[in-house]
Amino acid sequence: MIVVVDKVSVLVLTLSQFLGSLTITFAELLPLTPGFDRRTRIYLFHEHRRRFRFYSSPGLHDERRWDFQLVPAAEHVSNVFLGPATQVACYSRLDNSLVKYDKTLLRRFRWPAPGRNLTIGAKHYAAQDPYRLHEPVRVDHMLEACLEHGNHYSWLKSDVIATCEALSKVIRGVGQFNVSYISGKLYLESHAWKRKRSTIESYVGGYGFRRAATQLCDPNMLEAFSTPKDPVGVNVFNTVITRTLGGLQLLTAGEIHCVQDDRSGHPNRYIELRCKKDGREPQKLAEDLKKWRVRCHLLGIPVIFFGFRKQEILSEGRFLGVAQMNELIGRSTTEGQLPWDVEDVFDCGFRVLCRLREYCQVADDWRVAINDSKMDRIWRVHMCRSKMGFYIRELTREERVTLRGDKARIGIVPQRLYDTLRARSAIY
């Protein structure tokens, strides 16, 4: 839902004023989990026509090269149920090429002192290769983590396998993705179509704030490595979780900023860290909160620790639970607008995933019917929220070679990992 506010009526408040009535402690937030208040929605149903084009040339702006798939809204269907999140694996990315499948980089929350200069450590961040720093996360590490932790069944029983970055964008209806459909499973990754630049401003509100609010649970685990102990962008801890969304079994992985006070593998101990400038417009803050709310809801993170800064100096911070985030988002809703509800957003995401999976499955069945058993197929998906659907086309051979890089792959899945999964399945 896009919130439109009359420019004359916009009031610019300080963040501390905007959130002033929401001061709470983390202990009060521990019982909070995303609610499952299921309300019934009634939507119009749209008929659509399915087409298949197996070969097409690149060209996002030429709609004749793309199939548009309308995602019909559910009619008289209650909100889909999002099952509990269970961590099945984890991994620590020490740098761009080195990954440990353990909790080496798991960080513990510590309360940041007001007045902290958030530019400390920026030179290490600036030294990173911006192309490697901002490249989209692939499914490789999360799949290998499942195998390393002996949880190949989590991979086998999943219907949709995607990075948290990709899955949260699909649910919100934005972004571009690379998609494969292999043996009944849908694989998704974000597609990098626009390079981001590394700036001091992005460090201050991101890794600079995380540096001030976290510390490694066990610094000794890094003694044998040259990896910086403070977060600089490439050294992050990731969780791999499984959960259901309606009738779909999801397997996803995402970065965890820190945990409360222990090293448990339960998502309800995770903490999301976010920091914004004091004086941000309430409507813009609400849009940020919607994006963070979807990510937290997907990974099962119950709280956000929200920091306020004046330029590069931290002024204060406080915890926001589910109820507090919903209240802040609701304050930006103008008269005549429907209230934003994360359950509705996940409903739309569920229908997108079902339509995308159905499209790829039928295309796969069509290949079998014409005796084309090729498994190395990749689709490019471009979400189009304004048209309530998505554009999709199959990549050419040249595009697949470029996307594959130096690894042998089946679609977007590393062939080595896929062969290992099949071998272990045969043993057990």
**What is the reported pLDDT for 246?**
92
**pLDDT, mean of residues 354-375:** 77
51, pLDDT greater than 50: no
How many CB atoms sit inside 10 A of residue 240's CB?
26
> SS3 of 316, please?
strand
Task: Classify the phi-psi angles of 12: left when phi > 0, otherwise alpha if psi is within -120 to 50, otherwise beta.
Answer: beta
**What is the reported pLDDT for 196?**
62
Please say whether the beta carbons of 170 and 177 come within 8 A.
yes
Cβ partners under 8 Å of residue 1, min gap 6: 337, 338, 340
**pLDDT, mean of residues 295-323:** 92
Residue type, 339: P
Query: What six digits make up the tokens of 424?
Result: 């272990």
161 within a domain of the structure (yes/no):
yes
112 within a domain of the structure (yes/no):
yes
> SS3 of 55, please?
coil
**pLDDT, mean of residues 226-242:** 88
1 within a domain of the structure (yes/no):
no
Among 37-46, 372-381, 413-422, the minimum mean pLDDT is found in 37-46
**What is the reported pLDDT for 282?**
80
- Angstrom distances, CA of residue 261 to CA of 271, 294, 316, 363, 366: 10, 24, 21, 48, 53
97 within a domain of the structure (yes/no):
yes
**What is the reported pLDDT for 336?**
67
- Enclosing domain of residue 405: 16-427
Q: Work out the pLDDT band at 40, boundaries 50, 70, 90.
A: very low
Q: Work out the pLDDT band at 12, boundaries 50, 70, 90.
A: very low
Percent pLDDT > 90 in the chain is 47
Give residue-wise pLDDT tens across range 170-218. 999 999 999 999 999 999 999 976 556 667 777 888 999 999 999 999 8
62, pLDDT greater than 70: no
Residue type, 157: K
Q: Work out the pLDDT band at 262, boundaries 50, 70, 90.
A: low
Q: Directed axis angle between helix 164-172 and helix 282-299, to 10°?
A: 120
Chain-wide mean pLDDT for the chain? 80
> SS3 of 289, please?
helix
415 within a domain of the structure (yes/no):
yes
End-to-end CA distance of the chain: 47
> Which one is predicted more confidently, 41 or 249?
249
**What is the reported pLDDT for 53?**
38
Among 13-22, 51-60, 133-142, 360-369, the minimum mean pLDDT is found in 51-60
Among 222-226, 273-277, 333-337, 391-395, the minimum mean pLDDT is found in 333-337
156, pLDDT greater than 50: yes
- Angstrom distances, CA of residue 49 to CA of 41, 71, 176, 347: 25, 11, 22, 22
5, pLDDT greater than 60: no
- Predicted TM-score (pTM) of the model is 0.82
Question: Which range among 19-33, 239-253, 328-342, 375-389 has the greatest average pLDDT?
Answer: 239-253
26, pLDDT greater than 80: no
**What is the reported pLDDT for 36?**
36
5 within a domain of the structure (yes/no):
no
**What is the reported pLDDT for 193?**
61
150, pLDDT greater than 50: yes
CB-based burial, 325-356: b 16+ in 10 Å, e otherwise: bbebbeebbeeeeeebbbbebbbbbbbbbbbb
403, pLDDT greater than 70: yes
**pLDDT, mean of residues 230-255:** 93
80, pLDDT greater than 60: yes
Beta strands in 94-246 (DSSP E): 99-100, 107-109, 160-163, 176-182, 185-190, 214-216, 236-245
289 within a domain of the structure (yes/no):
yes
4 within a domain of the structure (yes/no):
no
Domain total in the chain: 1
**pLDDT, mean of residues 84-112:** 93
**pLDDT, mean of residues 111-126:** 88
The alpha carbon of residue 203 and the mean position of all alpha carbons in its chain are separated, in whole angstroms, by 20
